[in-house]
Each structure stands twice: as structure tokens, then as C-alpha cells.
Amino acid sequence: MFNQTEVLKVGNPPLQSVYNELRTEELTDAADGVFYKIKDFVVAYQQPGFIRLWIIPTFLGLVGIFWFAIHNSQVNKDGQATIGSLPGVVLSFVAFAISFYLGNGRGNFLSLETRRNSASFFVRNREDFAKHTVTSLISGVIGLIIGYVLGHYMK
């Protein structure tokens, strides 16, 4: 099957979509082999959950937080402890947060689909945007009417 055309029951008039896919109804050994080769290729290039490059800066930022908090800290006569170096703690925390975010923010979203064939965010959620727009317009008109009436007659 190639370039399947399907009619979607979304909107008025119904949309016709062409799916660019190449598939067969029965699986052969050759097709199965190609699938496993592609799967192995995709798995080989997946990114890990936490990038190893950022482990050392994250650890150093965490050590810096404790070092600057404890080093040169003092206890007052009232029994209150003061932080040794507040700017050092803040800079270490910023370094820790940035390196943790950069190292941890990777997802594995691998697909054989091209961007051209996938629908955009606005196309997928067109009906929801239309509902919220109509609701907002009706609420705005009712608010203007009530505001005008209250402002005009409450003088």
C-alpha cells in the first residue's frame, strides 16, 4: 500500500488526508529484517537520560554549595549560625541548577516520521482553539454589557 487516502470526520467539510507510507498487508522475512535493522540503528543513536558530560559540573556545584555554606561559617552568641560566603553559595547553586538542567533535559523521541508529514500543534488542536476563542468572545461581550450597565446606572 502506498499513499493511502482517508477521510477524517473533522471539521466541515470533512478533511481528506494522504498518508505517505509504504507497507504491505503481509509480513515477509525481508521486511521483518529491515524493521529490525532500522530499530537497531535508532536504538544505537538514542541519547541517555542524563548526559555524562554534565555529571562533573553538577557534582562540583553541589560540593561548592556545601563548601561555601560551611567554610568560614560562625555561630553568634545568640546561637544563630551565619553562612560563610553567601555569594559563593548563590553562584554554586546557580552552577548546580544550570548543569543539572542541561544534563537532565534530554528526551528520547525518535521517530521514522518526517516533520513534513506530521501535523503541527495548531492543526491538531484546531477545535479546542476555536472553542476557547468563542467562549472568550462571549465572555468578553457579556462582561462589557454588564460593565456598561453597572457603570451607567450606578452613578
Beta-bridged to residue 78, according to DSSP, are: none
Residue 40 pLDDT greater than 70, yes or no: yes
| 103 and 126 both lie in a single domain | no
Which residue range(s) make up the domain with 17?
1-46
More confident residue, 23 or 69: 69
| 53 and 26 both lie in a single domain | no
Assigned domain for 20 exists: yes
| 100 and 136 both lie in a single domain | no
Q: Count the domains in the chain.
A: 3
Cα 76–Cα 77–Cα 83 angle in degrees, nearest 5: 10
Kindly report which listed range (33-47, 74-88, 109-123) carries the lowest average pLDDT score: 109-123
Assigned domain for 130 exists: yes
Place of cell 457603570: 151
| 65 and 30 both lie in a single domain | no
Band of pLDDT at residue 2, cut at 50, 70 and 90: low
Indicate the pTM of the whole model: 0.41
Assigned domain for 114 exists: no
The pair phi, psi for residue 48, each rounded to 5°, is: -70, 165
Mean residue pLDDT across the chain: 77
| 152 and 101 both lie in a single domain | no
Alpha helices in 80-125 (DSSP H): 86-104, 121-124
| 7 and 36 both lie in a single domain | yes
| 22 and 1 both lie in a single domain | yes
